[in-house]
Structure 1
Amino acid sequence: MEWLNSLSKAIEYIENHLEQEISFDEAARIASCSTYYFQRIFSYVAGISLAEYIRRRRMTQAAFELQRTDKKVLEIASKYGYASPTSFNRAFQSVHGISPVAAKQKGAVLNAYPPIRFSVKVSGGSAMSYHIIEKPAFHIVGIRMNLVDDMEENQKNVPLFWEQALNDRRFSELCELNNAAPNGILGISVYENPENIFYYIATSSTNKAPDGICEYEIPASTWVVFENDGYFKENVQSVFRRLYTEWLPFSGYEYAGLPDIEVYPIQNKTVQSGHSEVWIAIRKGE
């Protein structure tokens, strides 16, 4: 359960700095992972991005102050890190649906977002079909796009990248290059360092990458493979959420922080519905 305690401590740091600058790097250090993985894990478990969570918490506190004090809007905007009334007004309206000035009126309807508390989810519902495998390092070839620290931006751009890839002549090449497991077309998030974060649409292959195609070596690891018949009934974010709140706490394993892999079946050089998988690298817990 140590990962749960680490995430909770990172949230405590954020709560204590709502009126100051919040360092994502420091929050990640407290959570014992890289900044990229902290934001990624947070968005999966919480269901919103870290930036959006902080915005909601600050605007919740700002609304309380607008209603219970005589402070001016500009004063409260400055307190919560907004240099201009325009940017504060935009953030406030995105959370509450009304302007800060309107929030001062009696009877104004506002939204309150309490601090997140991470806990193990107790559920007796749907099963998670999985198996665990040991796999040596393997070679992938594919096309890639740059990811950024902003998870909201990535969540908008990755689907667009898939759209473009399916109409790219190189996609057919990738289908032909697949000659090793995991079989199919892969969606892979790769973190090398803060300046080099990529999302690959790729395939596992023993062949060298042809011109215009990138390649990468996936390290040897233990993998938990979650399975579905047909496209995922739950999206990848939901699989990760269940991994952290339902599977990991009781499994004796920890997240290994290696590339995460989505596996989609191919037929006639196109992605098909069928048996799909998510591969997540794990290691034995301490």
Structure 2
Amino acid sequence: MIAALNKLVDLLEEHLAEEFDVNAVARTLGTTEYHLRRMFSSLAGMPLSEYVRRRRMTVAAADVVRGEDDLLGIAVRHGYGSTEAFGRAFRAVHGVSPGDVRRDGGPLRTQPQLRFRLTVEGSTPMDTRIADRPAFRLVGHAARVPLIHQGINPHIQQHIAGLAPQEHLRLKALSNTEPAGLLQVSADVDAEATEGTELTYLHGVAVSRDAPVPDDLDAIEVPAGKWAVFRTAGPYPQALQSTWAATASEWFPSNPWRLRPGPSMVAILERADDFSTATCELWLPIEPA
């Protein structure tokens, strides 16, 4: 995976001013666009599209400062059809207009070319198992919420707090397949997992495909497939979020699996009364790499 990401970066650099077919590149690298984008954003700390925009504007800034061409010529050379579109992208990265930079020489914000390296980490083994599950359903109460990578998501908190106590008990009684118990489900996540983009959060349970579903509940159909199940314990949600990050930096580069599209699920196995600590299982949909 590390080699694939570095090859992607090299190809991007060669074609910065062109439309870039990530799906075609992923196929030549023996992986999928979904997995490539998710691993890139997890390890780089930014979506692939944002990296491309920053690199384009870093290279374009040198042309602006040199002043050898007019701004329209520079815009077209870097893949923009007008000075207005180029100016918006330039300002979004550098915080100033191309005209200001041409006059004053800056300020400029440089995005260096990325290089991924595998470091020696993982001194603490990850408690993982592979589960092969038939098709099932996730049923419960769903809401559209923004993606937040660190800390408690207040929108999810508010969604759960709005459910009556007896509703949690009713959902739990419906659970009849693994993963057992109440689940925190994230579905329809942006391919690059960009912070602030919307996802579908479902507070519910897993049921067999032929189980009757009450009309007042939302349902997500989950096809048959394999899952990587990571067990984590400690401060909540910090320990869970750290494990999630480590799947990209440590587990996937070291194992012959890749992410496939589908919901991710968190099962809370044990927790403190105030939810300050918890033992959880993180379920991620996978396929052979």
Q: CA deviation at 1:31?
A: 4.2
Paired residue for 2:279, among 275, 278, 284? 275
Is 1:255 the equivalent of 2:258? yes
Question: Measured at CA, do residues 217 and 282 of structure 1 come closer, stay the same or move farther in structure 2, by a change above 3 Å?
Answer: closer
- How far apart, in 2, do the equivalents of 1:107 and 1:100 lie? 10
CA RMSD of aligned residues (A): 3.6
Is 1:108 the equivalent of 2:112? no
Q: CA deviation at 1:94?
A: 1.8
- In the alignment, structure 1 segments of 5+ residues that lack a partner are 147-152, 192-197
Which amino acid in 2 is paired with 1:214? A
- Aligned residue number for residue 234 of structure 2: 229
SS at match of 1:98: coil
Q: CA deviation at 1:162?
A: 3.2
Residues 111-134 of structure 1: per-residue CA shift (max 9 Å, x gap)? 111222222133377x35423143
Which amino acid in 1 is paired with 2:178? A
Q: Which moved more, 1:53-62 or 1:87-96?
A: 87-96
Structure 1 segment 1-286 matched on structure 2, within 5 A: 3-123=1-121, 127=124, 129-137=126-134, 138-143=136-141, 155=147, 162=156, 165-166=159-160, 172=168, 174-182=171-179, 183-189=181-187, 199=200, 201=202, 202-206=204-208, 207-212=211-216, 213-221=218-226, 223-233=228-238, 236=241, 239-250=243-254, 252-257=255-260, 259=262, 261-265=264-268, 272=275, 274-282=278-286
> Is contact 1:224–1:280 with CA below 8 Å preserved after alignment?
yes
> Is contact 2:94–2:109 with CA below 8 Å preserved after alignment?
yes
Runs ≥4 residues deviating over 4 A:
143-146, 167-173, 281-285
**Count of matched residue positions in the alignment of Structure 1 and Structure 2:** 266
- How far apart, in 2, do the equivalents of 1:29 and 1:161 lie? 37
Question: Measured at CA, do residues 225 and 17 of structure 1 come closer, stay the same or move farther in structure 2, by a change above 3 Å?
Answer: same
Residues 159-181 of structure 1: per-residue CA shift (max 9 Å, x gap)? 68736743665974544433443
Q: CA deviation at 1:55?
A: 0.7
Residues 178-215 of structure 1: per-residue CA shift (max 9 Å, x gap)? 34432322324369xxxxxx745142124422214214
Percent of counterpart pairs with the same letter?
A: 27
Give the structure-1-normalised TM-score.
Answer: 0.74
Question: Measured at CA, do residues 14 and 87 of structure 1 come closer, stay the same or move farther in structure 2, by a change above 3 Å?
Answer: same
- How far apart, in 1, do the equivalents of 2:17 and 2:77 lie? 6
Which amino acid in 1 is paired with 2:206? S
Q: CA deviation at 1:283?
A: 5.8
> Is contact 1:142–1:200 with CA below 8 Å preserved after alignment?
no
- How far apart, in 2, do the equivalents of 1:240 and 1:255 lie? 14
